[in-house]
Structure 1
């Protein structure tokens, strides 16, 4: 081979190596920017509070985040004698006519004295955001066909949900219609008046995993014990928390498996879910191993400060 040809090949090889090195460096050094992501702490989703005044406990029910457990648990604590006499369980369908506590204004509306008491405990049970979306999707989209005009098309659902939430967070029009799907799917940080400060809340992350649910139940029960909840109701609460959700999950296990698989593997679905729920993972310190690689190690404090501006 002639020397000029050899030199040309060598130059091309060197430039190719430099190009790939520089590109790799650029890719690795790119900083995450929060543009396009749904912001945290938008005062939007109307809070659902449940109160046990005699024990100074306020719970916030977050839709699709063990809401039924929170609601039934607080009804039991509100009046354990009536609840047990009626032979209720956390698995029973909730209707206003079937719960004695549902007719009590003080159950839903915390008094000023309870809110201002320094000994009042506030708690909320939190579910992993992607798992929370799966619960919403199965209930509203698959079972009830109430997700826009998407049916069970998950790609359609997440795209329209993202667009709706983005419109809400950017809209100052107080007459903007609040849709049921947006209320139920809104980020966790949009709930419970968390925009007023989450430091006063006891936040308990719970999952469908039995071991983790038992652990979360133990923490919750300790909080209730500190507030004077009777020992006699502890085992009832423990059993209903631990085994109630297993029954619900098993009932729809095949559909849930399919939905969870799409959430894990469909890149279009994942793109929009990251856009909607990333800030929840950062704010509430959920396990980020379920996220795409570029989101697993970003500095949460820096990003949250950026979106707050």
Structure 2
């Protein structure tokens, strides 16, 4: 009996040693089986969101009927700012165009703007097209004129790059003494814990209409839910931002061309270009060792990539981003490439953007 007990302890210890590295490295961290539902696109294996069981469903589009809008009425310019999408610099740029003289006299840098102490706080802002129209467009607040006659801008980022930027900023680099536990679901720097709780949280919002904190929504919820895209998608000029070197160059080029197209004076464009290049925002995660560590973790874990694809599925579709390739799924669990007789759980997002 004693020998049997000892053997049981040894067996448990061996099993613990086998699963501990998975926990430590955040790769396929959960002990239960994880099922992959896949498809092939351009010879790449990616997540399949069609005809999958509810527990593996991709998050559908759920429009949020408001956004964070900042305006420069002199140029009929309205921008929707999304967290982790160059938002600090965008809000500062629009503030400068709203009152250039006052902004320059303050000697502020775009990169030094702070959300709670932004230079144009409550002066050029609103949270719906309707409110912006009434406040800044015409005395009668004609929404049709505002929609058709103003220039509407939004900056979009690859969903996974945006997620990593937010996670490293708020959950990894931010000092624990100033960190709000609820900002990261009390997962701290455990990326798998955070991804799983984010998925559950967003699916709860879909099912119950109970929304998360403003912080979580602005920085981690799908971009496609924001900015009233379900109503005004075709009215926006969409510029894609990337923190990668070549992507940043292309972004600055597109932004400069856009400002020229809407007749922003050349001297103001030059001022804006200099502000973009002077300094990065203090909370930027670009080139940080922490970002590199978590990007590597993500690349090595099909579990994380699959979960993020399911969370941000509507972003990938609406903004035409490529799905991340799954490379290691065959080493792990059961795989379904053509699941049958299971109810479809994804809305047809294409109806929103056509």
Coarse TM-score class (shorter-chain normalised): 0.7 to 0.9
Tell me: higher relative CO, structure 1 or 2? Use CA pairs within 8 A at least 6 residues apart: 2
**Where in structure 2 are the equivalents of 1:1-309 lying within 5 Å?**
33=50, 35=52, 36-40=57-61, 42-44=62-64, 46-97=66-117, 99=119, 101-104=120-123, 106-108=124-126, 110-112=132-134, 113=137, 116-117=145-146, 118-142=148-172, 143=174, 144=179, 145=181, 146-172=183-209, 176-179=210-213, 180-242=215-277, 244-245=279-280, 249=284, 253-286=288-321, 288=322, 290-292=324-326, 305=348
Write out per-residue CA displacement over residues 132-181 of structure 1, whole angstroms, 9 at most, x where no aligned residue: 00111012212235311211100000000000101111224xxx253232
Inter-CA distance 153–27: structure 2 relative to 1 (3 Å threshold): closer
Indicate the structure with greater helix content. 1
State the Cα distance separating 1:49 from its structure 2 match: 0.3
Q: Using the alignment, how far apart are the partners of 2:273 and 2:263 within structure 1?
A: 16
Cα distance change of structure 1 residues 97 and 183 upon mapping to structure 2, 3 Å threshold: closer
Q: Quick check: 1:279–1:304 contact (8 Å CA) kept in 2?
A: no
Q: CA deviation at 1:95?
A: 4.8
Structure 1, unmatched stretches of 5+, are 1-25, 295-302
SS of the residue aligned with 1:214?
A: helix
Given that residues 165 and 285 in structure 2 are in contact (C-alpha distance below 8 angstroms), is that contact kept between their aligned partners in structure 1? no
CA RMSD of aligned residues (A): 3.1
TM normalised by structure 2 equals 0.67
Distance 2:245 2:299 in 1: 21
Pairwise CA distance, 1:280 = 0.9
Deviation at 1:55, TM superposition (A): 0.6
Contact 2:222 2:312 in 1 (8 A): yes
Q: Distance in 1 between matches of 2:97 and 2:259?
A: 9
Report the CA distance between 1:241 and its aligned residue.
Answer: 2.8
Helix, strand or coil at the partner of 2:110:
coil
| C-alpha distance after superposition, 1:229-273 (max 9, x if no partner) | 221121221233345448754676101101111121122222211
For residues 80 and 107 of structure 1, the distance between their equivalents in structure 2, rounded to whole angstroms, comes to 16
Q: Does structure 1 retain, via aligned residues, the 8 Å contact 2:187–2:194?
A: yes
Aligned residue pairs, count: 269
Whether the 8 Å CA contact 2:168–2:285 is kept in 1: the answer is no
Give 1:53 deviation, angstroms.
Answer: 0.8
Q: Mark the structure with the bigger radius of gyration.
A: 1
Residue in structure 2 matched with residue 22 of structure 1 by the alignment: none
Instruction: Say if 1:153 and 1:85 are closer, same or farther in 2 by CA, change over 3 A.
Output: same
1:61 offset after TM fit, Å? 0.4
